[in-house]
């Protein structure tokens, strides 16, 4: 399953072979998520799960200067029956699961407002870089629903239970600086430097042994879901799978020969 280059709602760009820049491409509606975007996001990340295609890091950002993603497309949802709403949400659930299962790191480069599902999308990434103009909010309660894209799960992990309750129950937005202070965002960037700064860290990740990055990501992701003993066992299993790889031999050899390693992902 190969990535296409003709998606309707997303633009894909390969940067220096190993970095995939994925741009939410509906700027006329602040990159709001419609059914088609859900289907395309599901397809993209399922493709990467089956075959990473030499991608070592993914960056997700939004088209335009105003918005990363304004959440679900409420114009499309207006008038939906209960059944239609639930069927659409099932697509969004599958897209979210595919993103979280992505074997390579995924970084959110939040370039503007990220409301509702936009904040949930950013939270589902491995970490977040944000423009100084970014705003985050889980707005669902103000619409008569509640976060349904792991917002009530990922937000407490990011900022703690009490701050998560404040954000979810008030539906009020916070700016990038407060998001950084609370631990939601890893770095706040000048708007015109956001992609460059995100690419810098993506290249640093991509320069490391791909199999090691994948195993380490898995271990880090599961660490908060298990008790320390079982998490340690998972870590050791992941570690031991790397001992017999060609890349482990190459990494040590390159260090001793004082050169950059040539990773083979095997």
Indicate whether 186 pLDDT > 80: yes
- Decide: 104 and 45 in contact? Cβ < 8 Å: no
Q: What pLDDT score does 224 carry?
A: 86
Residue 55 and residue 161 in one domain:
yes
**Long-range contacts: 8-16, Cβ < 8 Å, 24+?**
8/36, 8/40, 9/34, 9/36, 9/37, 9/40, 10/37, 10/40, 10/41, 10/44, 11/63, 12/44, 15/199, 16/203, 16/206
Does 48 lie in the same domain as 16? yes
Active site residue 43: no
Domain containing 233 equals: 210-257
Q: How confident is the model at residue 99 (pLDDT cuts 50, 70, 90)?
A: very high
CATH number at residue 228: 1.10.12
- Residue 225 and residue 100 share a domain: no
List, for residues 20-61, the tens digit of each pLDDT value: 999 999 999 999 999 999 999 999 999 999 999 999 999 999
Banded pLDDT at 80 (limits 50, 70, 90): very high
In a domain, 134, yes or no: yes
* Assigned domain for 140 exists: yes
Instruction: Please tell me the predicted confidence (pLDDT) of residue 1.
Output: 67
Q: Is 91 in the same domain as 197?
A: yes
| Mean pLDDT for the stretch of residues 200-207 | 97
pLDDT at 2: 80
Are 200 and 155 members of one domain? yes
Q: Looking at residue 17, what is its pLDDT?
A: 85
Task: Report percent pLDDT > 70 for the chain.
Answer: 100
Let me know if residue 263 belongs to a domain. Answer: no
Domain count, the chain: 2
- The average pLDDT across 68-72 equals 97
- 182 and 228 inside one domain: no
- Token readout for 105 is 């790191």
Same domain, 177 and 247: no
One domain for residues 146 and 235? no
Q: What is the mean pLDDT of residues 107-118?
A: 98
Q: Which of 140, 190, 200, 257 is catalytic?
A: 140
Q: Are residues 34 and 132 in the same domain?
A: yes
Please name the residues in contact with 122: beta carbons below 8 A apart, sequence gap of 6 or more. Answer: 60, 68, 69, 108, 110, 114, 128, 136
Q: Is residue 70 part of a domain?
A: yes
Question: Which among 13, 43, 93, 120 is annotated as catalytic?
Answer: 120
Distance separating alpha carbons of residues 116 and 13, to the nearest angstrom: 26
pLDDT given for residue 5 in this prediction: 86
- On whether residue 265 sits in a domain, the answer given is no
Token pair 């509702």 in the structure block, residue: 116
The CA distance from 116 to 172, in Å, is 11
Residue 24's pLDDT is: 98
The CATH number that applies at residue 172 is 3.90.226.10
Q: What is d(CA 113, CA 134) in angstroms, rounded to the nearest whole number? A: 5
Q: What is the mean pLDDT of residues 201-214?
A: 97
Q: What is the pLDDT averaged over residues 213-227?
A: 94
Domain-located, residue 108: yes
* pLDDT tens digit sequence for 123-173: 999 999 999 999 999 999 999 999 999 999 999 999 999 999 999 999 999
Give yes or no: residues 15 and 33 share one domain. yes
- Do 184 and 222 reside in the same domain of the chain? no
In the residue annotation, 140 being an active-site residue is answered as yes
């Amino acid at each position: 399953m190969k990535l296409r280059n003709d998606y309707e709602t997303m633009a894909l760009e390969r940067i220096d072979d190993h970095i995939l820049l994925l741009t939410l491409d509906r700027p006329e509606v602040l990159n709001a998520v419609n059914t088609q975007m859900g289907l395309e996001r599901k397809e993209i990340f399922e493709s990467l799960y089956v075959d990473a295609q030499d991608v070592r890091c993914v960056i997700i950002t939004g088209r335009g200067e105003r918005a990363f993603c304004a959440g679900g497309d409420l114009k499309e949802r207006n008038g939906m029956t209960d059944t239609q709403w639930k069927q659409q949400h099932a697509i969004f659930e599958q897209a979210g699961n595919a993103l979280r299962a992505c074997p390579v790191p995924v970084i959110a480069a939040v370039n503007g407002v990220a409301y509702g599902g936009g904040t949930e999308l950013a939270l589902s990434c491995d970490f977040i870089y944000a423009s100084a103009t970014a705003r985050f909010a889980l707005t669902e309660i103000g619409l008569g629903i509640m976060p349904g894209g792991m917002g009530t799960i990922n937000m407490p992990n990011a900022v703690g239970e009490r701050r998560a309750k404040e954000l979810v129950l008030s539906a009020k937005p916070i700016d990038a600086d407060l998001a950084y202070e609370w631990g939601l965002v890893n770095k706040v960037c000048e708007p015109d430097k956001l992609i460059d700064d995100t690419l810098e860290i993506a290249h640093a990740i991509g320069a490391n042994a791909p199999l090691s990055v994948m195993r380490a990501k898995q271990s880090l992701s599961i660490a908060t879901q298990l008790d320390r003993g079982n998490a340690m066992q998972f870590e050791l299993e992941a570690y031991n799978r790397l001992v017999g790889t060609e890349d482990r031999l190459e990494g040590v050899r390159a260090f001793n020969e004082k050169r950059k390693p040539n990773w083979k992902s095997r």
